[in-house]
Amino acid sequence: MLLSCLPLAAHAQFQKTPWPSAQASPVIDLMDLQGQRWTNERLKGRTVVLNFWATWCAPCKEEMPSLQTLHELGGGEPVVMGVNVRETASHVKRYVQATGIGFPVALDPQGDLARRWGVSVYPTTFLIGPDGRVRWRIQGEVDWTGAEADRWLNSLSSARP
């Protein structure tokens, strides 16, 4: 399968689709660059923005500042979590340091997690409610500081465990 950065139609930056209600939420078991482990259990009770990205992906790089702002302004709610796919730890660490990314970033060096989540284009972001259920898959670049993203995140806050 060819993985790509998502160049959606010129009039749309992203495509938002609901996660199938009959489909279970995939397992989250990640180690971030600081050695912290992130699991479904640890994230339960919190809204999560799980973003799959790569340093070679221009839309991913364009989206990063708004994810960072969401992380900073939210004070940990929602949890913003980046998953870098198919790149080396040293390369990703250099990129994270150079760009000032402060939210947790985990590695998926073989792309196994991305495959389990059905990621085939970058960036792809999943919005997970506090009940632990995936609600939305968003393919493409999003302004996470905008009104539309704010509405999406607010709609998740009612999904308590």
- In angstroms, the CA 92 to CA 144 distance is 22
Task: Decide: 80 and 49 in contact? Cβ < 8 Å.
Answer: yes
Q: Is 39 exposed, middle or buried (0-12, 13-18, 19+ CB in 10 A)?
A: exposed
Ranges of each domain in the chain = 14-156
Which residue ranges in the chain fall short of pLDDT 70? 1-12, 158-161
- In angstroms, the CA 61 to CA 55 distance is 7
Q: What is the mean pLDDT of the chain?
A: 90
| pLDDT value at residue 1 | 34
| pLDDT value at residue 9 | 37
Q: Which helix (H) or strand (E) holds 154?
A: helix 147-156
| pLDDT value at residue 2 | 37
| pLDDT value at residue 7 | 45
Task: Decide: 153 and 127 in contact? Cβ < 8 Å.
Answer: yes
State in Å, rounded, how far the first CA of the chain is from the last one. 36
14-156: CATH number = 3.40.30.10
| pLDDT value at residue 157 | 78
| pLDDT value at residue 5 | 52
| pLDDT value at residue 75 | 85
